[in-house]
Structure 1
Amino acid sequence: MAFAQSELGQTLMRVLAEASSPGKRTVADYLLRNQMRVTAQGIEELAQSCHVSTATISRFARDIGFRNYAAMRAAVADTLQEMLQPVEKLRSTIEQRGRATSPAVESLEYAVANISATIGSLSQSDLDAVVRKLSRARAIYVMGFGLSSHLAGALVQHLQPFCSQVVEVVGIGGTEVAAGNLVGIGSKDVLVALSFPRYTLDCVRLASYARDRHAAVVALTDSPASPLAEVADHLLCVQSQHPVLPSSSSAALALIEALAVALMVSNRANVEKAARLTDVISTYLYGKK
Structure 2
Amino acid sequence: MSGPPDGASVAQRIARSFPALSQSHREVARYVLDHPLKAATLPVAELAELVGVSVATANRFARALGYEGYAQFRAALVLGFEGALAPVEKLRGDLEQPADPASVFDATFAAIGRNLEATRSSLDAGACARAVAAIQAARRVYIVGFGSSSWPAGLLARNLDLTRQDVHLLATVEGPAFAARAMRRLTADDLVIVLATPRYFTDTVRLATQGRESGATVLALTDGPHSPIAAQATITLCVRTDSRYFAASDASLAALVEALSSAVAHASGSLVAAATRLTESVLPWLDGDYAAWPIRGSAVPSPDPDPEP
- Displacement of 1:286 in angstroms is 1.8
Q: Within 5 Å, give how 1:20-35 maps onto structure 2.
A: none
Rg comparison, structure with higher value: 2
Query: Can you list the C-alpha shifts for 1:54-95, whole angstroms capped at 9, x where unaligned?
Result: xxxxxxxxxxxxxxxxxxxxxxxxxxxxxxxxxxxxxxxxx9
Q: Which residue of 2 aligns with 1:114?
A: 115
The one-letter amino acid of 1:268's match is G
| Contact 1:148–1:196, Cα closer than 8 Å, also in 2 | yes
The residue that corresponds to 1:123 in the other structure is 124
Structure 1 partner of 2:260: 259
Separation in 1, partners of 2:236, 2:254: 16
For 2:286 and 2:176, locate their aligned partners in 1 and report how far apart those are by CA, in whole Å: 36
Paired position in structure 2 for 1:158: 159
> What percent of counterpart residues are identical?
32
- CA distance in 1 between counterparts of 2:101 and 2:281 reads 48
Partner of 2:275: 274
Letter in 2 for 1:103: V
User: TM-score w.r.t. structure 1 length?
Assistant: 0.64
Match in the other structure for 1:179: 180
**Cα offset, 1:154, TM superposition:** 0.9
Q: Deviations over 1:159-185 (max 9, x none)?
A: 112122011112111121111111111
Three-state SS of the structure 2 residue aligned to 1:161 is: coil
Q: Which residue of 2 aligns with 1:4?
A: none
Structure 1 residues 105, 139: CA separation in 2 closer, same or farther (over 3 Å shift)?
same
CA distance in 2, matches of 1:268, 1:240: 32
Aligned-pair Cα RMSD in Å: 2.2
Q: Judging changes above 3 Å, is the alpha-carbon distance between structure 1 residues 283 and 182 closer, same or farther for their aligned structure 2 residues?
A: same
Tell me if structure 1 keeps the 8 A contact 2:156–2:257.
yes
Correspondence for 2:169: 168
Q: Which residue of 1 aligns with 2:302?
A: none
Task: State the SS of the aligned residue for 2:236.
Answer: strand
State the 1:142 CA deviation: 0.3
- Report how far residue 101 of structure 1 moved: 4.6
Which one-letter code corresponds to 1:151 in the other structure?
Answer: P
Provide structure 2 residue ranges, at least 5 long, that are not aligned to the other structure.
Answer: 1-78, 80-96, 293-309
| Cα distance in 1, alignment partners of residues 261 and 172 from structure 2 | 20
Query: Could you tell me how far apart the structure 2 residues matched to 1:172 and 1:100 are?
Result: 35
User: Is the Cα contact below 8 Å between 1:223 and 1:238 reproduced in 2?
Assistant: yes
C-alpha separation in 1, matches of 2:177 and 2:232: 21
Residue segments in structure 1 that go unaligned for 5+ positions in a row: 1-48, 50-94
* Larger fraction in helix: 1
Aligned pair count reads: 197
For the residues of structure 2 that align with 1:117 and 1:253, how far apart are their CA atoms?
15
Aligned match of 1:194:
195
2:222 is aligned to: 221
